[in-house]
Every structure is written in C-alpha cells, then in structure tokens.
Chain A
Amino acid sequence: MTLTRTLNVLDEIESLVSDQLQVVSYKWLSRNFSLSSNTAKRLLKDFVEKHGKGFEVVYIVSGCLKNRPSDYSVKLASSTQLPEVEKEFNGKYSVHIYSVQASIPIDPAAIWNAEFVQAEELSRQPSATENCLRGNRFCGISNSFVKRNIEGTTGNVTAPRTESVRTTVQSKSSLDFQKGTVLSNQGKSFQHSSHQAKSETNAAPAQNQSVKSSSDKEKSFPVPPNKKNGQGEKSVTGTGGSLKNMWGRVPVKTEDKSAKTEVKNHSTDHSDQKPSHDADKKGGSDDENQDVNFKRAPKSENRKRKVIFDFSDEEYEDVISLASPSSPKVNSRTDGDLNSEDSGPEKPDAGVSREIKSDEQEVSKEDREKTASIDASTTLSMEKIQAICSEAEVNPSKGRIAEAPSLPKRKKTLKTRIDERGREVTEVVWEETETKVKKEEDTDTNKKLNDGKNANAVNRAQKKSPAIGNAAATNIGGKVGSKKGGNVKDPKQGNIMSFFKKV
C-alpha cells in the first residue's frame, strides 16, 4: 500500500471512530477499503501506534491455552485485560487488534454490529453481483472449488435454471402472473396458462401462423410444456417486455396481432384459471388440458379458444413450430441456455405435442397454401384470432389467413373440399383475398360453434368495413373479430395494422 493511501485510511479511521463513534473492526476495514484481512490488521496496528491514546482497543488473542494445549482458543480482550489474557496462553499465540472504537460497549455484541450492517448491505446486492462477502476474497485461505451458481437458484425450485437468466422484467411478469393483477400480466399469464393448458393446440395455431407468416419466423412459444410454471413463463415471453412486443408486433405480423389481441381478450376470461394453471406445472400436458378443460367448461365459448402467441423472433431462434414434424425441435430451443433441467419436463410434453403436431401438420400445410394464396399479409387477421379461439385441443389454428383488412367488397363463400389428409375442410372464402381454413375434425364440436361464429363474424364483417376481413374465422375468434371490426369500422380509417403499430 502506498504511504499516502495508508495515511488516508488512517485518517478515515480516526474520523470514523472519534466523530461517528463507529466501531472499526479489521473485517469492516478490509471490506470497506478492499484490503485483505491481514493488511487491515496491520493498518489497525499502525493506527493504534499513531493515535493510540484516546481510543479503546480490543485485542484478539488466539492460540492454545496453557491448561488445554490441544485445543484452539480465541479470546477477545480489552487493553486492560490483555496482559492477563496473554498469560493464559502458552507457546505461540498471536495478538492482533480486533477493533478500535471510542469506548468499549457493555455488550460485546455491539462491536459486531457495524460489521454486520456492512455484511447485510453486501448480501442485499443483486444475486448476480460478486462482492467481497460472496467471494470471500480478503481472507488468508483460498478455495478454488467453491462455485456459486448465480442463475435461478433462489425462488422456484421447479423453474429451470436458465429461466432465471432472464431479466427481472420477466420475473416480475411471472410473479404478476401468479397474482394475476395486471391486465398485461394477465395477458402474459394467459399465454402462460394457455401454454400450460393447451400447449399443443395453442402452439399449433401459433406455429402455423408463424410458419405461414413470413414475418413470423419462430414462435417464441417455447415448448409450452417445458415452461409450465410461472418462471417458465419467462422463457415463453422472452426477455423483458415481451408483452410489449406482443402488442407492438401485431402490425408486423398478421397472426401475431390476432394472437395477441386474442390473448388480451382472453386473458380476462382466463385470469381466474391462471393460478391453477400455475399449479399444475409439470403435470404433463394432459393433466393440464384436463384441468383447463374443466375450468373452461363453464365458459363454453372459451372452450375453443386458442391462444396464439407470436413472440418476437429475436429471443428464440428455433421456436418450436408444431407444424414441423419434429418435436425435438421443441426441445432444442436454444434460447436462454435451456439446460438439461428442462429436458425433464419437456419430455412428456414433447410427446403430447407430437401428437398434436400430426394433426396440425395438415393445418399448417393448408395454412401455408392459404398464405400463399393470400396476397395481403396484413397482420391483423381476425381469422387468426378466431383460430386462436378455436377448438381447444385438436383443431389447429383455423384462421391462418392473413387477409387484407381493407377490402371493400367481400362476399363470403363457403367452400368445402377434401384436403390431402382426407379431411373435410370448409373454407370460408372472401371473394377478394380472405380464405379461411377450417378444419373439421371428427369430434369437432367446434364446428357448430365455428359456424355460428363465422356467421356472426361474417355478418359483422359485412356490416362493417371488411377491414378485418378475417371475420370468417371461427367461433370465438369471431367474437374477437367482431371486436376488431368494431375497432376499425371505417375503411377510411386506414389499416387495421395501424391500430397495433408500435407507438
């Protein structure tokens, strides 16, 4: 240490002790000035030599006692006690200065307070910060085998570790999710719950959309099965502000918007279901589906809702597209360093998602076809929204259609055809551009709903300007669609996209 620094420190010690009446122990000194403990002790010794009078010194004597030579003993002693205490020790013992203070407190523990306050402050620093408390760097013993895991060690035991890497925004959102307080959070949580609940089905439309939409590359719809807990949600939503992304993105991606609006609309509906969703995280998608279905039973309208989450691409490269045949892709998400911890929960879900995928493959294919046929890729597709809403488990997204929101004249036509997998598909085709793919499943109870809703949607769409266009969508989507229609009634108002454009 340079002489000047030494002097500075000594002066500071003096002011602390005499003016602020603080107890300066060597530990406190070492942490405060980033010195090693041994250096701090030396400094205190220098200090006492210089300013000794007027301060009380507490010495620490350590070594072996005379009457118990094999036992190690440490004693604190004030300067008056020091000679006697030293006599108790035999052989090699060491005397250091433990602390200097203005006066010796009655309760010895008071000497410890300043040091503890300092330790508390250090411990309060964010968990990722390395500090002298955590690194134990000023002692005389080094241990290279100590490792400190910063990621996600606290809190949710079930949360995959990588999740914690995400920013606090996410954590907040997941917390909020648990509380279900804010709408936006609810929206997020809705995603989450829907993830959990209907990972496969929801993913399917979402992914289909992503597949279709050129702008949507991947869904940061992280294998919902994998992230089925509050924290899992973090990964789902990506780094902070994904909810914001959700909204902001809508203009860009047709399906996204619809998905997001869908989400938003549904969030309130599902908010009550969230906690339970949270609860059954890893139950496996089946459990969750059941759970969800059970919860949703009372709201029959919601049954067929699907949430399509289009998350920003930036977070997730290989977003699982349920459309693609490989659920390993789901598991291979590389975002956020998914580690093996996720593999556990992933597995059962992956299996389930695989099943769904097969169903949805057709959809996706169809969707792709449709997409191709649709020129306008205006994001906001009501159909998408409707698709989101649509049949819970099996039916993949219905509304994968991006339609031009503002087409003045549209005539709805229903076309039925057999697609390549032998399914009967009813499409609602608007003359101009919109097409709707509706998959008919065997057990499709949605059909009726869809039809009904479609009719509604259609009607509404016809009434209003076809800005939304996608009104042809299925069921609930229809409702949403109508809402959307409500939003953008006037063709002159311009693009529906503008509604969702990022501010």
Chain B
Amino acid sequence: MESMEIDSEKVHERKQSDYNYLDERFEIQKEMYRGQQYSQIYFARLHLMRTLLYSLAPTWKPHLPVGKVLGLEEGKECIIVGTLFKHMKLKPCVLDEYSKERSVTPLVKPHNFMHPDDNLILEDESGRVKLGGSALSPAIYVTGVVVALHGKETCAGEFFVEDVLEAGLPPQIERPIDLQEDKYVVLLSGLCIGSKSANPLQFQLLVDHITGHLGDEAEQGLAAQIVHVVIAGNSVEFPRKLINGQNLASKDQSTLYEPIREIDIMLNQIAAGVSVDIMPGLNDPANFALPQQPLNRCLFPGSAPYNTFRSCTNPHSFDVDNIRFLGTSGQNIDDLDKYSEAKSKLDFVERTLRWRHLAPTAPNTLGCYPFTDRDPFLIETCPHVYFVGNQDKYDNRLIKGSEGQLVRLICIPKFCETGIAVAVNLKNLECHTLSFSTQIS
C-alpha cells in the first residue's frame, strides 16, 4: 500500500540553504555582574558612535570644528557629538508607581508618554547642554541616541541646533546576486499559545502548510521552497492569575505547563521538516532584560533533539545563504512607540537603523543588561532583512542607504490576532503573507 502511494504521489524535496548563527554578541554567559550600573554601557555606546561620527563629520560639514560640550563658546559654531536625553514630564517614575499601589504591578499598558513640553539635552562625558531650535524635534528622538549636532551656544546657555547628523545606515555586505531559485524564509510571531485569543487550529494549518501536508502537489511544491522559519517571540502566554507569587496547586501547575507542551509539539512538527528558530518575547519564559537569552532547551523536549531546532536570543541575527537577517520580538519598537511618535511602526524601525542602534531607549526605559565594555545593540553591519515581531499589523518597506544598502523592513503581525505569517523571498527580498482563516460558522 505504501509503495503504491509513493509511486503515484510526488514527494518534493525541500530546498536547502546555508545558515549562520550570529547571536554570540547577544549572549551574556560570559558577562559577570559585579554590581555595576549603566554608565558603562552608555559610555561604550558614546565612544563607539562618536568615533564613527567624527569620521563622518568632515564630509558633512568640513569647515566646522568638532568639540566637546564643555568646550562650547557662546556664539561659536561648532559640531558637538553626544548622547541625547529627552526630558519627559509624563515619563513614569518608579517611585510614583510604588507609592500609588504597593502590589505586583500588572502589565503596563502601552501608552504614549509624550508631552509638548518635552525637551532634549545633549550629554557627553564632560557635560550636558540643553538643546533648542527646531531642527531637532523632540517628538522624533528618544533618550539614548548618539548624534552629531551643528549649532552654536546661545546667550541663554542653550545650544541652538541648526543641523543634525545621524550615523546613517551601516555598511552592508553585498547581497549575493546568483540566487537562481526562490527560497523563502517564513517569519511569524505572537502565537500566544495558552491565551484565550489564540486559535490552535490556525497555527496547525500554518504548520501543515510549512511541512507540506496542506494543499495539492503544486502548493506543496511551493512549501518545499521554505528553507527556514523564525518565530519572533511571544509564543506562549501564561495565565496571569497563576503568577502571583503564591505557590501553585498541582492542578495549576499542569495548567501552567500546557502552553509549553503545546508549542513543543508544534515545534516538533515543524522541526521535523524545516529549520526553525525560536526567539523569546516579552511574555515568554525567558529573562526580562534585553538581550533576552535563548529559551531553555529543556522546555522543548520533543523539539530539542532535532538539528533543525534552534533556540535563539532576542535580538536575533543570522545569515541564510549570505542574506543577513536581524530582528527582535518587538520590545524595542514598542518602547519607541511609548516615547516618541511616528506615522507608522516602520518609521520607528527605519529610525533605529539610521541611528545604528537596535534599542536606543535601553537601558533608560527598556530593561537591559549592564554591559561593561560593549553595547551589543549597536548595528555594525547592515542587515538585508530587518524584522520586528508582535506588531499590530503587517507592513513592509524597502529602504535604500546612501551607499547602496538595500534593506527590507518587516513588521510581523501577531499571529494569534491576524493569522498572518510573512514569507521573504531570498532571491529578491520581496515578501508576501501567508494567511490562515478558520471561520467556518
């Protein structure tokens, strides 16, 4: 019986591609916490970015001197480089929150803390100066961005900004141009297994499609072109009421474990067919501070044995066939959304790329590990695909850099809400969606 079926059916061979794992810089196993505070990561950031900006300044405005904040003289035009600090009236202060309610704070609802009175200050190791002028809009910038400013000091002691220089897109490795065939990388996020809004049938349909069960042979042939799958965060969602500091009853314990078991079985099905990466997100059982460390392999006893299964950090960086991917589970963009504004999420994404920093608000308002000698969020090489997970809707954009860089920016929507996953074609960086709907009544 089996042989008959095989003869009459065509079994497609899945396409293969090279994969390179580039997450070492986001791993913190080697870091040692000695009680340090965050000044060192800021210093590392300033130092590296300043070197870069100093090298760019001569081409930008060659006639101007570059100096430190403390060396400002009134009326003298110059360029200063430093870290921006945005003073925000409405920014929540932990002390206020503590005094208001002394209990476990529930999830902070995303809320924008902007106010018309917000102002920017430039800071370097020598001093800080308030920024004025309209060239620099506080609505766009956030604390932690390193920029070069051209302007002069006013008699009021402010620095009047005339022009801003951002670092711009980092250099990019040439994309290989010889990819003949279509190969796809599927990106999805926000499965939220275990939450009320998650529809397991939807995810099962996606898994069936990726692994080649769904559809007719032609469609299975299309699915065979998927070479990699990335799950960008928030794969599980635990019932909040169980996590309140009390000991769990044994039946609650199994309830707590159910989502993990389900995701493991689903990942097992995927990993049995195609290479899959799973990144931790805000709601996943991983650490809170960025860079989030990989989910423990023990959580996935069924999937971990596969050589195709990889548990990755958040942010996550990897190469497929020499196409560089960089992405996060969304915390960085969500934080930007709270402290600045833009017309679309992709604007935030593009800004982070132009500022060459994945998460400028870390560690100010975004949890972050106090690195001492480096800032791992600096983007040194421009990716070809830059994705952000757990967004509200799907969006993508192709941006071009000043040196010919070409980057596809992708906002991956939450799968539990939209049923949409994104597929990127490695040949031409084009992307399309895979959508699954289960409305049958």
Contact = CB atoms under 8 A, between A and B. Distances in A.
Interface of A: 1-2, 5, 26-27, 30, 34-39, 58, 60, 62-63, 68, 70-78, 81, 92, 94, 96, 104, 106, 108-109, 111-112, 115-116, 119-120, 123, 127, 133-136, 138-150, 153-155, 157
B265 A153 contact: no
A127 B301 contact: yes
A477 B199 CA distance: 66
A143 B437 contact: no
Contact of A148 (B297, B307, B435): B307
A39 B11 CA distance: 12
Contact of B200 (A2, A62, A112): A112
Given A140-B213, A141-B14, 7 more contacts: A30-B213, A36-B6, A76-B440, A140-B9, A143-B273, A145-B307, A155-B298
B1 A141 contact: no
B13 A142 contact: yes
Contacts of A112: 200-201, 204
Contacts of A74: 205, 209, 214-215, 434-437
Interface in B247-264: 261-262, 264
A154 B440 contact: no
Contacts of B222: 72
B14 A81 contact: no
Given A81-B440, A109-B199, A133-B272, A116 B265 contact: yes
B201 A111 contact: yes
B101 interface: no
B307 to A, nearest CB: 4
B147 interface: no
Contact of A70 (B12, B273, B432): B432
A78 B441 contact: yes
Contact of B212 (A5, A73, A141): A141
B223 interface: yes
B264 A123 contact: yes
Q: Which 4 A-B pairs have the closest CB atoms?
A: A141-B212, A136-B272, A140-B220, A139-B212
A73 B269 contact: no
Main secondary structure of the interface of B (DSSP, over half): mixed
B212 A153 contact: no
B93 interface: no
B392 interface: no
A74 B11 CA distance: 21
B298 A94 contact: no
B301 A94 contact: no
A282 to B, nearest CB: 15
Nearest to A136: B272
Interface string B420-441: 0001000000001111111111
Contacts of A147: 306-308
Contacts of A150: 305
Interface string B2-19: 101110011111101000
B204 A136 contact: no
B212 A140 contact: yes
Interface string B353-388: 000000000000000000000000000000000000
B358 to A, nearest CB: 28
Interface in B171-202: 199-201
B14 A62 contact: no
13 contacts: A2-B1, A27-B208, A38-B217, A75-B437, A94-B218, A94-B219, A120-B261, A123-B302, A139-B273, A140-B12, A141-B212, A149-B305, A154-B297
A259 to B, nearest CB: 35
B11 A140 contact: yes
B304 interface: yes
B72 interface: no
Contacts of B434: 71-74
Given A77-B440, A133-B272, A148 B305 contact: yes
Contacts of B436: 73-75
A160 B302 CA distance: 19
A344 B25 CA distance: 24
Contact of A34 (B2, B208, B217): B2
Contact of B268 (A134, A143, A149): A134
B9 A142 contact: no
B234 interface: no
A141 B216 contact: no
